[in-house]
Chains A and B, each alone.
Chain A
Amino acid sequence: MNNLAQESIFFGMAISLLGYEIGLIIKRKFKMAIFNPLLIAVVIVILFLAVFHVDYETYNSSAKYLSYLLTPSTVCLAVPLYQQLHLLRKNAKAVILGITSGVIISLTSVLLLSKLFGLNHQQYVTMLPKSITTAIGMGVSEEMGGIVTITVASIIITGILGNMMAELICKIFRITEPVAKGIAIGTSAHAVGTAKAIEMGEIEGAMSGLAIAVAGLLTVIMASFYANLM
């Protein structure tokens, strides 16, 4: 199986899309947040690779074409944002203050919890950019001397968790304004969370996309200050 997978340039993408299709079917049947199509797809692919002894590198050599589309897709997030620009103008103050306080809460909570759990400096700076989009987070972690692979892992787990829990958290905290939902999801769970925000509605999706960019940039600015605190 590994040989076939190595030869094939479609294996990785096909198995990923198959996993996602199965995820969609299971989600439609059970309608529970835990049955998240992305999570199911990841689990199915990991199981498949383990059972048929295909290593990650082999899988990724053909699955990487999916990741390749991430940059143009992020660029496209500007389109719904543009279409909701009137909402952004109307709520500019709430949006800017909301994202800024979200970034401060994120960095501060990582600081406090790192102290509580007795992490060392390197582990602490590794976790600092966990809420922002992978590409920026990797750069921030590297700059501060963090362990980049763990940063990437934390960012992705954060995203999947945010994607799964977004609806529940909005319900518990009684967040009903679509603009506030989008800002909350994008600030805390970057692009993976935004995928859920887009499902929730056009306004949620557009605001979440905006929050990815703004939260990412603010984290770049504030992280070096926070890095000196522990």
Chain B
Amino acid sequence: MKYLRQFFIIMLISLLGEALKWLIPLPIPASIYGLVLMLLALCTGVITVDKVEEASTFLIEIMPVMFIPASVGLLDSWGALKDIILPIGAIIVITTIVVMGLTGKITQGIIRMEKRKKNE
């Protein structure tokens, strides 16, 4: 019954996320509201980690397979994509590398700066 109750809590928070999305007219998905709600519930102690730990570990572990259906859907948008595939492909490759590299560099730089400040 433990797993069922854990799954129930996760579903309940997902439902509350949907309710917020329905109430607030912004392009923010239910999942993000749900993530914030879950974090608040954990921080305030409304839910303790052991009440959701196993079920959430399982769901997070199998997350990659959840992207398969949408990715296979690229098949259907090929018609719209093929005429501008070169510029779009170039934009995707270049920005992904640049954003990941620079974001990591900047974050790491600040972390190290703070560490040095503390050591002085």
Q: Which residues of A contact B (CB under 8 A)?
A: 12, 16-17, 19-20, 37-38, 41-42, 45-46, 49, 56, 59-60, 63-64, 66-67, 69-83, 85, 91, 93-95, 97-99, 101-102, 105-106, 109-110, 113-114, 117-119, 123, 127, 130-131, 133-136, 138-140, 142-143, 147, 149-150, 152-154, 156-163, 165-166, 169-170, 172-173, 175-177, 179-181, 183-185, 187-189, 191-195, 198, 205, 209, 212-213, 216-217, 220
Contacts and interface: CB of A to CB of B under 8 A. Distances in A.
B98 to A, nearest CB: 5
Max chain A Cβ within 10 angstroms of own Cβ: one of B10, B42, B43, B71: B71
A56 B102 contact: no
Nearest to A119: B87
Contacts of A66: 65-66, 68-69
Contacts of B65: 16-17, 20, 38, 41, 66
Contacts of A158: 92, 95-96
Given A67-B66, A156-B71, A220-B27, A169 B97 contact: yes
B63 A75 contact: no
Nearest to A127: B91
Contacts of A149: 76-77, 80
- Size category, B interface: 35 or more
Contacts of A46: 72, 75
Contacts of A114: 87, 91
A102 B99 contact: yes
A97 B96 CA distance: 18
Given A74-B35, A158-B95, A165-B97, 14 more contacts: A12-B69, A71-B14, A71-B31, A72-B14, A73-B66, A75-B38, A79-B52, A94-B114, A106-B95, A106-B99, A154-B91, A166-B100, A173-B105, A180-B105
B88 A156 contact: no
Interface of B: 10-11, 13-14, 17-18, 26-32, 34-39, 42-43, 49, 52-53, 55-57, 59-77, 80-81, 84, 87-108, 110-112, 114
A109 B101 contact: no
Nearest to B112: A177
B14 A75 contact: yes
